[in-house]
Structure 1
Amino acid sequence: MIPRFPLPTLALLVCCAVFFHLSPAASAAPTVVERPDWAKFFTDAGVTGTLVLLEDGARTVQVHDAARAAKGFLPASTFKIPNSLIALETGVAPGPDTVFPWDGTKRSIEAWNADLTLTQALRVSCVPIYQELARKIGPERMKWWVSAMGYGNADIGDAIDTFWLEGKLRISALEQAAFLQRLAHDGLPLSKRTMALVREMLVEERTANGVLRAKSGLTARVVPNVAWWVGWVEKGDKRWFFALNIDADHPEALAARKAVVKTVLASEGIWP
């Protein structure tokens, strides 16, 4: 059974469904172009993985390791993006400044041992708070929204508070970039308010020249570990969407996530 929604939300869902069904631009997949020259950035960082770079309006998507870019992996904490969207849209979290009190349990990540707003919880990637959100959303609504947004294989399984960490949910780097592009352009079946709030929550860097929005992730509960960094750059009316995942088989790999992406962005004249 589909969860009940207010009439304005239902109308928005219908409009979005019609648009994406009828729009040739929305359904036309860009051509994948391999960038073997990017291999040196991965080699220099000592990591193995893939990177997708999608520019708005381009007929091609540039990729290092196209086979891996199409392979689904657990999203880990990059799922905090759709989790935030769903929590805000359903009212489970009324707004980005909603405070979640610390439960008093001491955890190894010190930043988690405090009262946090939703925005702060996203930025420090606080797993317990997002598990609480998922439980409050509940399996039925979560399954419906993940499917409605077209997020990866949309398989949330049976464990409502761990499915993105060690469950069956899978998403590829290509799918991550496409999902973020829809979020950037109000192309998800959600209110514009919700999407605007989450876009602002994702701001990682803001300069006079543009904005970098991003989220990291690490599949720390499974072997082999995979580390993510996904997001996009905005400069005026131009946008470039990126999604990287790498094998996180040594401690230095975590820092390499951002380093590889930023090196590629700099080589392409995109960021900073």
Structure 2
Amino acid sequence: MSTTAPARLPRTVLRLHRTALIVWSAFVAGLIGWLVWLNEITVDAVRAAEAECSRALWGCIDIIEHLDYSEPTGYIGTLTCYGFLAVAAFTGGALIGRELESGTARLAWTQGVTPARWLAAKLIVPALVLTAGCAALVLAFRRGWAANRDLMGDHWAFADVFVARGPATVAYALCALAVGTLTALLLRRALPALAVSVAAMGLLNVVLERCRARLWPAETRTAPKPFELPDDAWRLEWGRTGTGHYATYHPASHFWPLHLVETGIVLAVAVLATAAAFAVLRRRTA
């Protein structure tokens, strides 16, 4: 490999994994297109049906699910939220694991590319692509989810909606990239690295979902008589005391504090996993 090989590394990474790039681009474009269709075409049919129903003498029926508006939007949120599992699988299996298992990586290291520079290119290029795609998905989903709230049943605290509406989507994708890389460097076999990467990211997500309500101080309200919380409140605990009634909850205004704390935790894991990956690489190539 010539001395200009390091400069060509980003293009090499893109060319080597062009199929994955095409699939990712199609995934992002498909979900955004689906959201646009739902909010520009389907919602008009829903509104027209609601208007027709309101004029009928026999009253209205539940038409939202029948016209496929709320559920598809929920599916898009789920795919946006948990897309990081596919990133973990790709990174552990194809991006890093396969090249270590086949010896392609060692071949590159003997032709003018240092191991550290090889790994940096393997991380930076996908990181940029993932960040751009996830940011586009988040912006589209936020607009679609908020555009017709009266037709949606999903609460802001639902696990997939919570992640899909903000930068945690990007953080999870970058963390999956880092964890998949570390796992592949430790195991050096594609399939085991794929499985362990997905399991590790799934475990991280489950732990944070269960701890999510405690990432920011909740509010507590007490009253001598029963009371109702706002519909958009995330109710954590409620009941009676010796002197009245109480409820512990997160108001809708707590979304961003909760979301940003979780985003910071996930990014911290990503930084630690990246640092560990470079440390493992240095030790094994010294």
Considering fraction of residues, name the structure with more helix.
2
After TM superposition, the score normalised by the length of structure 1 is 0.26
Q: Which has the larger radius of gyration?
A: 2
